[in-house]
Structure 1
Amino acid sequence: MVLMKDFFKIPNLLSFSRVVLMGPFIYFFFQNYFIPTIIVMILIVLTDILDGWSSRKLNQVTELGKLIDPIADKICLGIGLTVILMKVQITLVPVFVLIGRDILILIFGSLMMKKVKDIPMSNIFGKLTSLSLSITGILFFIYSFMPEKSLYTVSYSFYGLGSVFIVLSSISYFMKALRVLKK
């Protein structure tokens, strides 16, 4: 099967390793090991950067990679935000909406793939959602180790911004899926 052959390509292994690294991240974070948690976070970010770079540089862009890279991103962001927000006792409603949105994107994306034979790419609102929620996660992560009122305020502001982008990206993805599926 083509997908299994593609699994062992370097960029796809890097995407998969990003998900595996969430285990040590959760362990170190809840043990309050600041430095090991930071190291794992850096490794997660590096594997995200390197999988895209290596797929282009090594000419290993695959349909599997187009599929597992964004899924790995969503898993890491969802799990990372959930554990950080649980620790600082912030509502998880926007994270649950994000996870629901991503499940719908996967469902509609697979329907679109059958129709147009291509994996839909993230749009600007999706990228802004990921960026603002990643910043939220980083800021609340720092806050969990160094509680400072102003840091909390800035963190919560990014969380609110990310929540707005979740709604905008959901509408945007849904409209795109409807257009494609109506054809």
Structure 2
Amino acid sequence: MNLPNSLTVLRIIFAPVFFLLYWIPFWAGFSSPVLYVLIWVVFLFIEVTDVIDGYLARKLDMVTDLGKLLDPFSDVISRITYFISFAVVGIMHPVFCLIILYREFGIVFIRMILAQKGIALAAGAGGKLKSVFYSLGAAAGLGMTGLGWFSDNAATQELFQLVTHGIFGIATVLALVSFVQYLVIFRKAVRQQ
């Protein structure tokens, strides 16, 4: 397995690590800034390696069919881990979470069908913009998680919550728009076969 694919696999492994670290305070009944920092380290590792693995694969001419499948799968695993956690604790509206879940599972299904036909579905501009807002939303959700340590000002917390919900809303709209774009690509690809 080459370096870019190894980084992608590490992202898959670190998603449950994020989940465990995020939920320890809820299960154990305690929280600490150290744990919060660890959650951020894992989150940043996942997000940064998402950028690095693709860059390295292209730069070092190590793009593989396995990587084309693993990378989007890793994205889905990590982002769904974040969003389910945020929805359960009330940081993300459950409707946003469900729409994103359905979209991601739909894309996985489309990718599987196209892979059987020997077609790789590359991310379009809409999908890339959606990914940026997924990352921003996850960062904002993590910010909401630890906001109580940094500010007990109700107005600040309400404003941050409003901004966070706005980012999740934009991410959800972009998820739907990019899903429609992928459906159009899928339909064309199937017709050409």
State the distance in 2 between where 1:137 and 1:129 align. Answer: 12
**CA–CA separation in structure 1 for the residues paired with 2:115 and 2:141:** 36
For 1:123, the equivalent position in structure 2 comes to 124
**Aligned residue number for residue 63 of structure 1:** 65
> Aligned to 1:25, which of 14, 18, 21?
18
Task: Tell me the CA shift for residue 107 of structure 1.
Answer: 2.2
Moved more, 30-39 or 15-24: 30-39
Go from structure 1 to structure 2 and tell me whether the alpha carbon gap of 1:145 and 1:88 turns closer, same or farther (over 3 Å shift): farther
- TM (normalized to structure 2)? 0.82
Q: Which amino acid aligns with 2:133?
A: S
Name the CA shift for 1:114/1:90 in 2 (closer, same or farther; >3 Å): closer
1:150 aligns with 2:159: yes
Q: Does 1:103 align with 2:102?
A: no
What is aligned with 2:42? 40
Which segments of 5 or more consecutive residues in structure 1 lack a partner in the other structure?
Answer: 1-7
Residues 11-69 of structure 1 show CA distances to partners (whole Å, capped at 9, x for unaligned) of 11110110111222122222342111111112112321221122133321101101101
TM-score (norm 1): 0.87
Q: Measure, in 1, the Cα distance between the counterparts of 2:125 and 2:145.
A: 30
Q: What SS does structure 2 have at the residue aligned with 1:119? A: coil
2:76 pairs, out of 66, 74, 77, with 74
Deviates more, 1:79-88 or 1:172-181: 79-88
| Secondary structure of the corresponding residue to residue 61 of structure 1 | coil
Match of 2:188 in 1: 179
Amino acid at match of 2:67: G
Secondary structure in 2 aligned to 1:50? helix
What is the percentage of aligned positions where both structures have the same residue?
Answer: 22
Contact 2:86 2:141 in 1 (8 A): yes
Structure with more relative contact order (C-alpha pairs < 8 Å, separation 6 or more): 2
Distance in 2 of aligned mates of 1:121 and 1:20: 23
Contact 2:16 2:81 in 1 (8 A): no
Matched to 2:60, the amino acid is L
Mark the CA change 1:23 to 1:112 in structure 2 (over 3 Å): closer, same or farther.
closer
**2:154 corresponds to:** none
Letter in 2 for 1:131: V
Q: Distance in 2 between matches of 1:66 and 1:48?
A: 13
> How far apart are residue 110 of structure 1 and its match?
2.8
Q: Provide the C-alpha distance between the structure 1 equivalents of 2:176 and 2:55, rounded to a whole number of angstroms.
A: 30
> Aligned letter for 1:103?
F
Q: Is the contact between residue 93 and residue 165 of structure 2 (CA under 8 Å) also seen in structure 1?
A: no
Q: Is the 8 A contact 1:80 1:137 kept in 2?
A: yes
* Equivalent residue number for residue 11 of structure 1: 4
Whole-angstrom distance in 2 between the partners of 1:151 and 1:44: 24
- State whether residues 28 and 37 of structure 1, in contact with CA within 8 Å, keep that contact through their aligned partners in structure 2: yes
The alignment covers a number of residue pairs equal to 175
Secondary structure in structure 2 of the residue aligned to 1:21: helix
1:66-93 Cα offsets, whole Å, 9 max, x none, are: 1101110111111112112322353222
